[in-house]
Every structure is written in C-alpha cells, then in structure tokens.
Chains A and B, each alone.
Chain A
Amino acid sequence: MLWKLFPLIVSALAAVAGDVHARTPYESTYSPRHSEDVLLRGATVLTGTGERLESADVRLAVGRIAEVGVSLADNGARVVDASGLWLTPGIIDVHSHLGAYPSPSVPSTSDGNEMTSPNSARVWVEHSVWPQDPQFPLALAGGVTTLQILPGSANLFGGRGVTLKNVPSRTVQGMKFPGAKPSLKMACGENPKRVYGAKNQTPATRMGNIAGFREAWGKARHALDERTQAAQTPPEDDKPMKAPAPDLGLDTLIGVLEGEILIHNHCYRADEMAWMIDVGKEYGFQISAFHHAVESYKIADLLAEEGICSAMWADWWGFKLESFDGISENVALVDKAGACAIVHSDSAMGIQRLNQEAAKAMAAAQRQGLYFDEAHAIAWITLNAAKALGLDDRIGSIEVGKAADVVLWNGNPFSVYSRVEQVYIDGYRYFDLNDPGRRPVTDFELRQTVSGGGR
C-alpha cells in the first residue's frame, strides 16, 4: 500500500510506466483465450464510427482487428462466409447489475445495494458479482461483449463499479477488463431520499442529497490537499512521515479527484443534472455519464457543452415520478445536439436486446422527422458506450488495431427478427448460435430444464 503514502510519486511512476491499473488492488487476471485467425467475408459492416460497408471483409488476427476491406487475402485465417450477414462491434452496456442482482432473484442473491449508509463509497460492486449468474450467457447471446456493473442507487454514493468482459470465468477477476478504470456510482433524486428519509435519516430531501454530496466531496478534496502537501514537504530525519488513516470511501473519492476513477451518475431530472454539474465544478471532477437520464433532452445543449454522456433507455417512462417526462425521442435529441448518446439497459432482459432498444430509439426519431440511420445509431450501443467507460481507444468500433470484439448477426441488427450468430471477444468465438459447443452454460443451469444463451 505504498501508493497511499506517496500518491503523487506513485502516480507519476505509473504514468511513466503507462500502466495505471497496476496500482489497483484486486487486479484483473483476464487474458485473451488463444484464438485462430478468422476472416469474416462479405458481411454488411456497421463500423461504429458512422460507416456502413457493403460486402466487406474483416480479418481478426491475434485477438485484434487486423484488416478491414474488400476481397482481403485470408493470410491463413479460417474463412467464415458472412455474405448476407451483418457485422457490428461488440455491444457494450454501460449500466448493468448482472451478477450483483442475478437470476434467480432471491434475498440470498440480492447483492446490489449496500443500503446502510448514504455514503457507501467504500464498497466495490465486483465483490458482489456472482460469475455463475445465468444472465451473463444470455447477454452474450445478445451480442454483449463488455458491460459495466454498477451498484444500485439507494445511496448518494453507491460504491465502485467495474467493467467486465462478458466471458465465462470462475472468478470475477477473470472477467475484469484489464486496464479499465473503475467507476463511482452516484445517485440523485428519489431513491436516496426515499431510502434514508424513511429511516428518518439524511438525506430526506433533494437538498439533503446535494448537501450529502458536497460534504463528502469537501472532505475528499481536503484529504487530497493534505496528502499532496505531505508528499511535497521533505520529511525531517527525526519525524517519519505519518500515513493517513485508512479510509476506503475516501480512497475512492480521491481516486475520482485524481482522474483515476470515472463518475457514473444515476440522475433522471434535467434540473438535478445541472446541479450535479455544478457540484463537479465546485470540487473538481468531471462526470462521465448521467444514467437513466430521461430528461437529458431538456438540457442536451448543456450536456454537449460539458462533454457528458447520457445513458438512456429507448422508451422507459412513468414507473416513478422522476421518470414521468421520459420520451422516446430522448436519445435522438441528445445526439442531434452533439452530445454523447448511449442506450443502456439497467435490465437483465433489456441487455439481451440492446440492438432492439437502439432500433426503437431510431424509429422514434424517424417518426418525428429526425433522420438517423443504422450506421449512426449503432454507436449508441458501441462506440459512445466505450467513450463513457474511457475505453474508446480499445473497443467500440471495427477499426484496425482495436480488440477483435465483434458480433455477427443473421440479418440487420435493427430488425426484431434478427439474431446473433457469433460473438467474438478478443478474437475468440465465445458464442455460436449454430454450435451448441460454443454456448457457455453456468454451473447453476446444469441439469436444469433449459440452459445456456439463447434460451
């Protein structure tokens, strides 16, 4: 834990080494499976960068996208006839609770909300994730290759989130996306004030919410300043440097202030998002994405200006008052304003069909005369999602050099009738509709009547 004593020195070293995640405890043990090179030939390719390529070839080699073009040589790769099929980047869900709220959903598996203190920044959701959750292979069958697991929204600070690769693994460490920054889940609005207000504790109001945020961030800023000052003061020979008292929650908040942890903020209402932007300015952090941002369309200009993504449902609304103003054109209006638009699931059912959610958002836009085509809309569930996770240099699009996370569909992925045929993660074929040997089955499902992705 040397890094806690000398944060600046260590982060400087880490920056030099280009290996920021090495300082994170509980690090990933994932390594890509050995995979044969594959040439996917003749598919309609949605690159994720706005392009649509007809009858294109994509070659995957050593876990990466090696070539994109027409009439490519196979270079020894296994050739897959993908004519008539569609190829997209792997689907990315920035808001999932898989593993923390698994199926079956019973009290003994309910591990997503540490509802014991409004500031639960000390908890890490990865410590709740059950890798045998049957929902993981179902999401895989829907083309999901990367997902961010977040703690629930009962607390102002729900704890750390984690980005996972959707691969079968005995351990969560074996799913952790190497090098992905952790996140901090914050929640505005109804949930924290309801949960704690009902216990006659703070926060009981929206003003209590904001006060709770400011107090915690103020302490974190103060602690960071103290640590910085201590690191800059040369130690005196007779007085060894005093280490700050361990504080898991503070570590996470300080990690945010140092830019090592990304903020993902559950926030429905436009006015509350605007307050959260100001809280960020007061204490010096940037919000990566507002989640469940059903009112982003009301402040799309502000979100564009601030460079904050909105993670949205296609059409959820009205299940509670703060979602009452949800509209089907939300995604389109945010995108049209030049802000980063993401379609997320927050649902173990929705995550299986994010392509359909994007299709609904696209159709709602077209119905109102706002034209978005598939080539553009696919970014809502791929590249834009990667941006919010800080991983857009590695995943989210079909570009040479990026990870070979791709999905082969048996038709236009924006059609309700299309299904996923194959899913590749780092070049390895983890799912194949036509090959029962390529559909992961969790322990829980063994000898149950139905099992495996595609159930």
Chain B
Amino acid sequence: MICSSLRSAFLLNLTIATSLTAAFPGSAHGADYAIVGGTVHTLISDQPLEQAVVLVSDGWISAIGADLAVPSGYEIVAAAGKVVTPGLIDSYSQLTISEIGGEASTVDSQVVAYASGPAFDVRYALNPEATALAVNRRDGVTRAVVAPRPGNDPLAGWGVTIRLADVEPLVSTDVALFGALGANAAMFTGGSRSALIQRLRRGLQQARGYSTNRYQPGPGDYSHQDLAALQRFLKADVPLVLEAHRAVEIREAVKLAEDFDLQLVVLGGTEAWKESAQLAAAGVPVVVNVLANLPTSFERLGARLDNAALLHEAGVQVLFTGGETQNVRWLRQAAGNAVAYGMPWSAALRAATASPGSVWSFPEGTGTLAKGAPADLVIWNGDPLELSNWPERVMIDGEWQSLESRQTRLFERYQDLSDENLYYQ
C-alpha cells in the first residue's frame, strides 16, 4: 500500500488484519470553497497556474484551472497576490508520540526497558492534543510520517501517517517498518556493522518460513512476536525504512532490499549522493535532512549541503524532513536551503509535498492540487520557501484549520506586560 488511496483503502491486502485507515473527506461538514486568483503550484506540473481557481467540495479538490467559473454555493476565498501550495508533509517525525523530548513521561516513541524490535508499533499512543501539531500546522505542515525510534534493536517497529488536524490525526497504520544501520544501531548487535546486517538477514530469512509451532528461537534470535511481525511485514506491501549514512551502509541496504524483494526507503542518507546512480536504478527514495551537513560521525564524513540537489539530479526521489519533531516546520527552511545549493525550486517543493504524498500511505493525490486529491492546501503571502513569508490560511481535508497555538496564546498574553489582566486572559 505504498500509494494507498482512501477510497481503495478497504480493498487493501487483508492479511494486514489490523491495518487501520481513517476516512476524513466526506465525513466533514461538506462546505464548498472556491479559492480564487492565486498563483497555484499544483505539483502536477512544475509550472504554476496564474490567477487560478481551486474548487474544494466535500473535502476533496473538485476542480482546478485558470479559467474556471465558480459554481453557485461555493464560498469564495480571495487569493489574488497569494501563493497556493499543497500542505507540507514531513517524512520522519515523532509528532504525537513525543511531546517534550527531555520529559520521559511524554515520550512514547521508543522502548528501552525490555527487548523490543519489529513487533513494536506506535499506533496506540498517538496524542491528538500534542501541542506541536498546532505549532507546526501554523507554518503550513499538514501531514507527517510518525516513526518509532530505535530502542534496543536495529528494527524499531511500525510507524503511522497523520494529519496535523486537531481532531482524528491518524491517517493510516502499518505504513512502514523502521530500522537503522550504522554504528549506533550496531551497538544493539554487539558493536559490529556486519553483525547488524547479519541479524537483519537472518531475521528476514527466518520470517519467510515462520510458523508458530516450528520456530525455536536461539540466543540472539528474534522472539516469536517479533518474527510474526517481520512475517507480517514481508507479506505487506509497505516500505522498509532504514536509517543509513555511510555509502557502504546504503549499498548494503539496497542489496538487502533486492535479496528479499523489499521496498526500501533510505532515511538520512548523508552519503547517499555517492550511491545516487544505484539508488535511482533501484527506485529507492531518500529522506534527506538538508541542513545536516556536519561530519558528526565517521559514517557521515561525506556530509554536504547539496546532497538533495545531487540526488535529484541523478533521478532519485527525494523526501524532506524538518529534522526535529517539535519543529517539522523547518521543512521549508530545508527546502529553501536545498534550492540555495542547487536543487530546482519545484523539485524542492515536491520533496515536501507530492513525493511524500505518493511514497507514504496517504490518500491518493495527497501532496498535489489536482482533481480528486484531498483538499490539503496552504495560502501563503509569498514564496513558501522564503523565511520572510508565512501561511495565511491552512486547509486539511477541506476544512480550514485554526492557526492559533499554545505559543500564539503565550504571545498574546505577554505582549503587554503592563496589563493588569495578565493572568486572566
């Protein structure tokens, strides 16, 4: 279900018995809007539509074009002089499962107290009231991938997709299995990168023929629970997302995916630019944190700011992450810097909209402004990648979203310190 659509969601591989996909558009109030006069980046074409009309009906985009008549009954939203884009999508976060990083009681993104691997699933702890949703929505982020973080196994578990709405954030479960290669993850397998790859290969091999009765886990083997989860993964058509930075690690990940016929997504990919031809040939997308250009470890010595540009040029599908859960809003700063370092503007916007919309489990068309796509859009007061601009309105699944956050409330409270009503607002 690499490109699942909500409408086809119920036809999904039913071996994923517990797979859950929420349906939003259509279940909403069904108000109809005509967004009129803006410069619209559809992501269907690299060329924007000027002075275009976007029609939103019942949560979906019902029509889009430069010369559209507005049907009666549509509420007109003037967007002349504004820029309209799909909502931004972050491809790796812990939104709703990690509220305050340093406060363990608010963090549900990893398991460290007992052995936990591929059977871990973040879906049961999503907090729809996480403050970061509103903070980041205010900056134009409408959807995100929510992934577990490695606890004490190279395989961290299952992630979900969400929308940054105040109600019912969950979009899809079982969206991908996450894991990591490299020195940090290798600590879980005794300290060697080789042992890590061997563990993954052995686990996948055992999962292929796994049956409850026959499997006798030996020392260092996955538990029954984990192996069942791995088998479930092998039967599902979702990506294995492996964090990998060193070129050789990325090569090993590609080989592993080929040998087990897996859909691979490389996360981080600091040195992915060195493997760009192979990644392009194998159709492996890379989630890039553009700003991470430091040689912070011996597997990231090839870090560079033009990684995204080089990958794009080689034909690799690039996805962006803002790099930090509290601030997935840095997505557009990341995209802007990718442009400053050689990535075409439209490709950079695509890496934060249409590409994640198609790679992850979102309704079909997510990340584009095309007929039939969910109506996630942002009206900006200028170039969305430019730091001096901001969203004026944000819509998710056809509903205008509040741009108030806990932070804006704090601002309002403290903008006038002389106010004797300070604590009564």
Give the B-binding residues of A (Cβ under 8 A): 103-106, 134-135, 138, 190, 297-301, 315-321, 324-329, 333, 337, 348-349, 352-353, 356, 359-360, 362-363, 366-368, 414-419, 445, 448-450, 454-455
Contacts and interface: CB of A to CB of B under 8 A. Distances in A.
Given A320-B102, A419-B340, A363 B389 contact: yes
A187 to B, nearest CB: 15
Given A348-B294, A414-B388, A416-B337, A455 B414 contact: no
A318 B294 contact: no
Contact of B293 (A337, A349, A362, A368): A349
Contact of B298 (A104, A301, A329, A414): A104
A190 B102 contact: yes
Given A360-B387, A417-B336, A455 B327 contact: no
B333 A318 contact: no
Chain A interface main SS type: loop
A366 B386 CA distance: 14
Given A362-B388, A417-B340, A353 B407 contact: no
A440 to B, nearest CB: 15
A414 to B, nearest CB: 6
B64 to A, nearest CB: 28
Given A415-B388, A416-B333, 10 more contacts: A297-B414, A316-B327, A320-B100, A349-B291, A359-B387, A363-B390, A366-B388, A367-B390, A416-B386, A417-B336
Nearest to B413: A298
| 9 interchain residue pairs of minimum CB distance | A320-B102, A416-B336, A318-B326, A359-B387, A449-B302, A327-B407, A319-B101, A103-B295, A455-B304
7 contacts: A103-B294, A106-B297, A134-B295, A318-B99, A349-B292, A363-B387, A417-B339
Interface string B362-377: 0000000000000000
Nearest to B338: A416
Contacts of A455: 293, 303-305
Contacts of B407: 317, 326-328
Nearest to B302: A449
Most chain A CB atoms below 10 A, which of B297, B388, B418: B388
B327 to A, nearest CB: 6
Contact of B387 (A298, A301, A416): A416
Contacts of B329: 315
A89 to B, nearest CB: 20
B387 A415 contact: yes
Contacts of A356: 333, 337, 387
A166 to B, nearest CB: 16
B296 A105 contact: yes
Contacts of A448: 295, 301-302
A298 B414 contact: yes
The residue among A138, A317, A318, A445 with the most chain B CB atoms within 10 A of its own CB is A318
A99 to B, nearest CB: 13
Contact of B100 (A138, A315, A324): A324
Nearest to A337: B417
A359 B411 contact: no
A418 B291 contact: no
B331 interface: no
B294 A349 contact: yes
Contacts of B385: 416
A104 B297 contact: yes
A408 to B, nearest CB: 16
A244 B186 CA distance: 53
A359 B340 CA distance: 15
B67 interface: no
Contacts of B415: 329, 333, 368
A368 B415 CA distance: 10
A319 B100 contact: yes
Nearest to B388: A363
Contacts of A315: 327, 329
Given A300-B417, A449-B274, A329 B304 contact: no
A450 to B, nearest CB: 5
A279 to B, nearest CB: 23
Interface in B403-425: 407-408, 410-411, 414-415, 417-418
Contacts of A326: 407
Nearest to A135: B294
B102 A319 contact: yes
B103 interface: yes
A318 B95 CA distance: 12
A299 B414 CA distance: 9
B300 to A, nearest CB: 8
Contacts of B147: none
B206 interface: no
Most B-side CB within 10 Å, residue of A104, A299, A366, A454:
A104
Nearest to B409: A327
A7 to B, nearest CB: 41
